[in-house]
Structure 1
Amino acid sequence: MDIINLSWIDSEWGRLVKSSLRIALVLLIALVLLQFTRKLVRLFSARAAKRNRSPEDYKRVETLAGVFRRAATVVVIVVAAMLVLGELGFSITPILATAGVAGIAIGFGAQSLVKDFFTGFFLLIENQISEGDVVEAVGKEGFVEEVTLRHIRIRDYDGSVHFIPSGLITVVTNKSRKYAFAVVDVTVARSANVDRILDAMRDVGAQMRRDPVFGAKIIDDIEVAGIEKLEEANMVVRCRIKVLPLKHWSVRREFLRRLKETLEGVDKAGSAGSSK
């Protein structure tokens, strides 16, 4: 005599319960895998960040970690969805066959998508671009907010956001690597005293090198190139200062401000001397 009647397991209700339990188990395993993958990526990022202490390497590690995390999430979700569909009674084989036929049908139309993924892959592996960089690509310049295999997202100076498919990127101008130059072109009258302007540039460059704020941004002494261009009524005098990445804008603005004050001071002194 059976103490516990287990005949209900083979009933319709029993099969429904078993199917529900299997679906719950699949979802639970998927959640565990997602959490495990994210922790694994975070662990990898932390260890890689300790080995690579430079800001450039850190940004690259963070970018690659984000891409791997998103890719792993997609794989886990797709596999879990297929298993759940199979448990619900849908045959996976026709779905895969249909997907294969559809893939062939749209293959020619999806060439640009495949190109995006391949280009994005090499952009990441070759470390051409990372989140946090300031780059110029496809005629757009700005701060890189997101890098995926499919596209990059950059925000320009006025706040506009540009989504650029990776497949369109043939040349990347990265302004965030190792150092930059604050290039200053000053247009003056052709009759101006060139030596006086060059001396003023050197003086301002030396002042900024000693400045506690701007000196921390400057890597090397100012390089005065001299006359860059001669025009009918004007001439262009050029110099440049080697600075830390992304500091060339602020250094250039401050240099121009100080140069203006210096040249105005010299003009006033000259005017006062000539009036005596």
Structure 2
Amino acid sequence: MNGALEPLVHWAKGPGLRILAIVLAALVVVFLSHRVTGRLVRRAEKEPLRQRERLQRAETIRRVLDKAVSIVVGAVAGTMVLRELGVDIAPLLAGVGVVGVAVGFGAQVLIRDLLAGLFILLEDQFALGDTIAVSGVSGTVEHMSLRATVLRDLDGTLHVVPNGEMRVVSNRSRGWSQLLLRVAVPYTTDLERATQILQRVAEELAADPAWQGHGLEGPSVAGVEELRANDIALLVTAKTSPGEQWAVARELRRRIVDAFGREGIELPAPTRIEVTRVLREERPTGQA
């Protein structure tokens, strides 16, 4: 019995012990990498300046680095384990090199996506949680990798956009957003009075403590924006926190409707035009 176990014990004291050390070292490296990137995220949380942007960027880089480190460490550790098991890895590495060259010619699109993803991270073009428009779609960034970016739009549709396909990226979540609200009034409206009411309503909303967190500042009525067929469009502008312009616009519309109702200013009603065609019955020649 002892003779049968002796080769196993010998293997466990030699290659087995080294394999265990390799696996443990790989786990430690991955663990330390996750700790370092996690510390970067926690440090970003304490930054008072541009806290949200810093936190999003740190979280994005953390996820990408964690995945990249795990793949690299796993590949290196797997190769070392195979060598300890007696597998000749030289032909394997040579085969991988040949396959790599062949795949390289056919994977130019993949390489382009990876390089584009790297530059997106380095240049901080956008981060997790940002609302962006790119390649004909828009939505909130839910996931990022070096190859592709995943967006979810307002109706819940998930879009996967390869990073190499991004030519122009419009980020709606950086710095501040601009509110552009067009209010339609009939041609019979006193424009000076309507403008004063709009300015008052916008300033009251900006001063409302319940809306301080939306970053509303500098609301103003720019004046007549457009003369349309059935009404006049007045333009209201303001700065808001990134992505808050839509919520502010909805609340501002509600208050404008209430204020116009109290002040006796009518909102233009939809115009409906009905066209009726009368077909004249043709009678045979000679009939009265």
TM-score, normalising length: structure 1: 0.86
Query: Residue type of the partner of 1:21?
Result: L
Indicate which of 209, 213, 220 corresponds to 1:223.
220
Indicate which of 11, 18, 31 corresponds to 1:16.
11
Query: How far apart are 1:15 and its partner, in Å?
Result: 5.1
Maintained 8 Å contact 1:218/1:241: no
1:268, 1:159 → 2: CA distance? 38
Alignment-derived partner of residue 258 in structure 1: 255
Maintained 8 Å contact 1:135/1:176: yes
Q: Relative to 1, partners in 2 of residues 1:238 and 1:66: Cα closer, same or farther, differing over 3 Å?
A: same
Q: How does 1:1-276 map to 2 (within 5 A)?
A: 12-13=7-8, 16-17=11-12, 18-51=14-47, 53=49, 54-267=51-264
Maintained 8 Å contact 1:8/1:14: no
1:268, 1:69 → 2: CA distance? 60
Maintained 8 Å contact 1:52/1:58: no
1:237, 1:122 → 2: CA distance? 42
Maintained 8 Å contact 2:186/2:231: yes
Q: Relative to 1, partners in 2 of residues 1:127 and 1:94: Cα closer, same or farther, differing over 3 Å?
A: same
Q: Describe the SS at the equivalent of 2:143.
A: strand
Maintained 8 Å contact 2:116/2:146: yes
Percent of aligned pairs with the same amino acid: 32
Q: Describe the SS at the equivalent of 1:213.
A: helix
2:172, 2:197 → 1: CA distance? 28
Alignment-derived partner of residue 274 in structure 2: none
Maintained 8 Å contact 2:180/2:238: yes
1:254, 1:116 → 2: CA distance? 41
Maintained 8 Å contact 2:189/2:265: no
Query: How far apart are 1:123 and its partner, in Å?
Result: 0.9
Between 180-189 and 251-260, the greater mean CA deviation after superposition: 180-189
Query: How far apart are 1:192 and its partner, in Å?
Result: 3.1
Query: How far apart are 1:248 and its partner, in Å?
Result: 0.8
Query: How far apart are 1:268 and its partner, in Å?
Result: 7.0
2:87, 2:228 → 1: CA distance? 78
Query: How far apart are 1:167 and its partner, in Å?
Result: 0.7
TM-score, normalising length: structure 2: 0.83
2:89, 2:41 → 1: CA distance? 36
Deviations 1:188-245 (CA, angstroms, capped at 9, x unpaired)? 3334332232122101111102211123424423121112122233332211121111
Q: Relative to 1, partners in 2 of residues 1:48 and 1:256: Cα closer, same or farther, differing over 3 Å?
A: closer
Q: Relative to 1, partners in 2 of residues 1:48 and 1:263: Cα closer, same or farther, differing over 3 Å?
A: closer
Query: Residue type of the partner of 2:40?
Result: F
2:220, 2:47 → 1: CA distance? 35
2:130, 2:162 → 1: CA distance? 17
Query: How far apart are 1:52 and its partner, in Å?
Result: 6.1
1:160, 1:189 → 2: CA distance? 39
Q: Describe the SS at the equivalent of 1:222.
A: strand
- Aligned-residue Cα RMSD (Å) equals 2.4
Q: Describe the SS at the equivalent of 2:217.
A: coil
